[in-house]
Amino acid sequence: MKRAQAALEFLTTYGWAFLVILIMISALAYFGVLRPSRLLPDRCSFGAEFECRDFQISQIGDAVKVKLKNNVGEAITVNSMSVSTESAITLNCTGDPDFTGVWPLGGIRDFIFTECNTGEVGFVSGDKGKVSISLGYYSVRSGPEYSHIVSGTIFATVI
């Protein structure tokens, strides 16, 4: 009889300790301490064709900005560019970036998408946001019949 009581008290003590640990972890998760995306660094990747020099997602200015360097190997012309997110709401930017003209090899260009609905998509200042950018280009030598599309992503803290 005494052994059963000792076993029950032992299991009850561990049960209470387990319950306290669960409550502490839940509180930490609720207040955002255990949010792993805060620990990840900001990054921008476009593959070998374009080097990402700088980038920004702005909820206050409703803009997505990226500075790219042409590493294609020759002069190109950009003919299309679009942004999107993984959100259920589509990211719409009415101010398209200026990508007219020839982009020389090694040249650096700013592409700024303005008047975006960043608030509706769910971007919040201080949190991380992810934007996908699709860039269409063709070689000046070959012409628009030989168009290529490169996709890149920006994962950054929203300002």
pLDDT in tens, 93-135: 877 777 778 989 999 999 989 888 888 888 888 888 899 999 9
d(CA 157, CA 138): 32
**Full domain range(s) for residue 103:** 40-157
The total of structural domains in the chain comes to 2
Q: Please, are residues 75 and 135 in contact by the beta-carbon 8 Å criterion?
A: no
Region 26-46 average pLDDT: 81
14 and 88 housed in the same domain: no
Determine the pLDDT at residue 10.
Answer: 84
Task: Say which residue the tokens 């660094």 belong to.
Answer: 41
24 and 57 housed in the same domain: no
Region 15-35 average pLDDT: 87
